[in-house]
Amino acid sequence: MKQLIIRQEEPREFQEIYDLVKVAFQTAKVADGNEQDYVNILRASSNYIPELALVAEADGRIVGHIMLTKTYISRADSKFEALLLAPLSVALEYRNRGVGSKLVQESFRLAKKIGYSAVFVVGDPAYYGRFGFKSIALFGIKHDPPIPDPYVMAYELTTGALSEVTGTCNFYLPKN
Ligand SMILES: CC(C)(COP(=O)(O)OP(=O)(O)OC[C@H]1O[C@@H](n2cnc3c(N)ncnc32)[C@H](O)[C@@H]1OP(=O)(O)O)[C@@H](O)C(=O)NCCC(=O)NCCS
């Protein structure tokens, strides 16, 4: 891998991204097989943030992809806007070379720059723990319907961002 470029996704590569996500999740520990369609659903929703849908490009092809979309932590009287990291995909031949980590770190840098303070993810704590993600239970936030602890995690882009936030989240389908 000569050079790795992380940049915003472009419409002309949506099919290439679809194929990448589909193949990447064939080897995921947990997958429902529809992650590539989920990308299209998120893109078509009002939760889509083009600046936070990134590709990793190397050797003239797309080798990784990440999406951070709007999500909300709800309480009876309030709604806190945050980000959902999903999905994250790296091509098989490019794994364990830091591509996933670079996509996560760059998406966080950009997210912070445009004013977001927290990111949520549903995934393996063994992987996401390295970025500082912690179980939402520690923040007093619940997923509704329940997903077993500690698979739903949160990361504060700004220290203390979630200290006053309680309520429920639902990451199953984007709300339009
Ligand atoms: C998970 C994934 C994005 C990681 O991409 P990557 O570019 O290989 O990640 P990085 O190179 O930044 O990090 C690799 C490290 O993460 C570890 N790792 C990867 N997947 C892991 C998992 N599910 N659980 C625990 N550790 C994991 C590797 O063992 C490696 O560890 P090391 O740094 O100690 O050697 C990639 O494996 C992938 O696309 N998987 C299929 C889709 C998927 O599961 N996406 C995440 C949804 S939760």
pLDDT (0 to 100) of residue 174: 54
Give residue 165 CA to ligand 1 midpoint distance, Å: 29
Q: Which residue has the tokens 């098989």?
A: 92
Q: Give the CA radius of gyration of the chain.
A: 16
Collapsing DSSP states into helix, strand and coil, what is residue 112?
helix
Distance from residue 127's CA to the centre of ligand 1 (Å): 6
| Ligand 1 centroid from CA 99, angstroms | 9
Q: Which atom of ligand 1 is nearest to the CA of 86?
A: 47
The set of protein residues with a Cβ atom below 6 angstroms from ligand 1 is 24-25, 27-29, 87-90, 95-101, 123-124, 126-127
Residue by residue, pLDDT tens for the chain (176 residues) are: 889 999 999 999 999 999 999 999 999 988 889 999 999 999 999 999 999 999 999 999 999 999 999 999 998 888 999 999 999 999 999 999 999 999 999 999 999 999 999 999 999 999 999 999 999 999 999 999 999 889 999 999 999 999 999 999 999 865 44
Q: Could you tell me which of 163, 176, 152, 150 has the C-alpha nearest to residue 80?
A: 163
The alpha carbon of 97 and the centre of ligand 1 are apart by a number of angstroms equal to 10
Contact 13, 5 (CB under 8 A): no
Q: How far is the CA of 50 from the centre of ligand 1 (A)?
A: 24
| pLDDT for res 176 | 47
Give the C-alpha separation, 43 to 8, whole Å: 13
Q: Cα-flanking dihedrals φ and ψ of residue 41, to 5°?
A: -65, -45
Q: Position of tokens 């915003």?
A: 8
Structure tokens at 22: 């589909």
In this structure, which amino acid lies at residue 170? N
Query: Ligand 1 test: best mutation among 66, 99, 127, most atoms within 8 Å of CB?
Result: 127
Closest C-alpha residue for ligand 1 atom 4: 100
Please give the Cα distance from 80 to 168 (Å, whole number). Answer: 10
Q: Measured in angstroms, how far is the CA atom of residue 79 from the centroid of ligand 1?
A: 32
Angle subtended at Cα 134 by Cα 133 and Cα 137, rounded to the nearest 5 degrees = 145
| Phi and psi, residue 100, nearest 5° | -60, -45
| Ligand 1 atom 10: residue of nearest CA | 98
- Rounded Cα–Cα distance for residues 80 and 13 (Å): 32
- The pLDDT score that the predictor gives to residue 77 is 87
